[in-house]
A and B are shown apart, each in its own frame.
Chain A
């Protein structure tokens, strides 16, 4: 090898970048997020059902919220027709956060795992939670 010293330094830098995810997580066991559904409102429900199916909500709640916002505030439509035929009053505070009044144990549980910080709470009140 010619210029072995320089080549090695280069390769070590390359390795440091390329394997970063492996060594920075070495030996870590990360708990999976478990959003809690044990709020008073949900506990009182007979059929425990969200606005849409659970799979849909998990993947698409951010888009649903965006649609709700646009519908309510830009077009003045405050009723949402769910895919199972129910008609639901559109409201962030009085729907989502009424049932999911445990923001820290629900929304934040997933969001801190996925490293997303919705800016909604700049304006919208997070529900008051009983300190445990």
Chain B
């Protein structure tokens, strides 16, 4: 159900772009206004969301660890799995963000006859996730050739590494294909694994379909329904230099591609995609495991009024003495 709903949302988005550009000729709207609005929403939305998060205190000290905590000098401790200081946290976070370290430990759990609970290695999600995120990053960097002039050397280098197979003309870029395959796997996994299907909501499918739509339209545009790339760059560079203009004669598939991307950007701050910022703010990952060395005070704690025994005795010493109760200070 959730999948169908999200699928139709993306179909409707494609139709909106088709009708708006091909039917109504709203080139400036789809080529300039919507992209600017989407990028503004993206940047402000992400910032506001992070600021909102940063206002919530972290009441408990809850790093999740899977290594020996630092304690006595003769007990070897695990610097990355149970970091004791900032450096360790940074190293651990880098492994998490760049290589999805914790997903690598993903296990599959099955109940077999017996009854017996068995665990098995399950690296497919990790592999597809990693392939997906890295190719997405490379695709994003490659697109800088449309938004910069002169194009920086690292963009050209990434482009030629990506296309080093030199298949066809225009040369095949591998990451585009990997991206589409990986995101398709991520979608099929939600459909075919019953437990995952059960917990999947429309908000889980929508980003997947949007990205499938973006990758498909991009691949179609590069290899099949060609558009005039020079005019495309005139448009995109116009956006980047704040001199927007819409050259006539760019194929409608470009506007579909652009509109889907704009939708993704605008949707980003309101969606699960915010895990881009969230991963850095996860208390289970970004805290050092130093609860035995440092006292972690709950920031919610209000100052509690205390009345110590010394003060008590000070107040009632005479009465206590009269009643024959022993006191500490005479």
Contact = CB atoms under 8 A, between A and B. Distances in A.
Interface stretch (A19-27, A80-88, A97-105, A124-132): A19-27
A30 B230 contact: no
Nearest to A28: B241
Interface stretch (B3-11, B13-21, B39-47): B39-47
Interface string A19-45: 111101110111011000000000000
Determine chain A's interface SS by DSSP, over half rule.
helix
Contact of A115 (B56, B145, B166, B243): B145
A19 to B, nearest CB: 7
Contact of B55 (A2, A21, A26): A2
A65 B46 CA distance: 45
A7 B241 contact: no
Contacts of A117: 156, 160
A32 B232 CA distance: 12
A115 B299 contact: no
A32 B299 CA distance: 58
Nearest to B155: A115
Contact of A62 (B147, B170, B234, B240): B170
Contacts of A7: 50-51, 54
A63 B228 contact: no
B228 A59 contact: yes
A123 interface: no
A21 B169 contact: no
Interface in A50-69: 55, 58-60, 62-63, 65-66
B277 interface: yes
A1 B166 CA distance: 51
B148 A118 contact: no
Nearest to B46: A14
B161 interface: no
Interface string B31-63: 000000001001100110011001111100000
B325 interface: no
Interface size class of A (residues with CB under 8 A): 35 or more
A1 B234 CA distance: 42
B226 A115 contact: no
A22 B170 contact: no
B26 interface: no
Contacts of B56: 2
A60 B229 CA distance: 10
A10 B43 contact: no
Contacts of A24: 148, 152
Given A2-B55, A7-B51, A60-B226, A65 B241 contact: no
Given A1-B54, A65-B169, 17 more contacts: A2-B57, A2-B299, A7-B50, A7-B51, A15-B43, A18-B42, A19-B43, A25-B147, A30-B149, A32-B230, A32-B234, A59-B226, A66-B169, A110-B230, A117-B156, A117-B160, A118-B169
Interface of A: 1-4, 7, 10-11, 14-15, 18-22, 24-26, 28-30, 32-33, 55, 58-60, 62-63, 65-66, 110, 113-119
Interface of B: 39, 42-43, 46-47, 50-51, 54-58, 144-145, 147-149, 151-152, 155-156, 159-160, 166, 168-170, 226-230, 233-234, 237, 240-243, 249, 251, 277, 280, 299
18 contacts: A2-B54, A3-B54, A10-B277, A18-B39, A18-B42, A18-B43, A19-B43, A21-B147, A24-B148, A25-B237, A55-B228, A59-B228, A62-B170, A110-B230, A114-B230, A115-B145, A116-B170, A118-B169
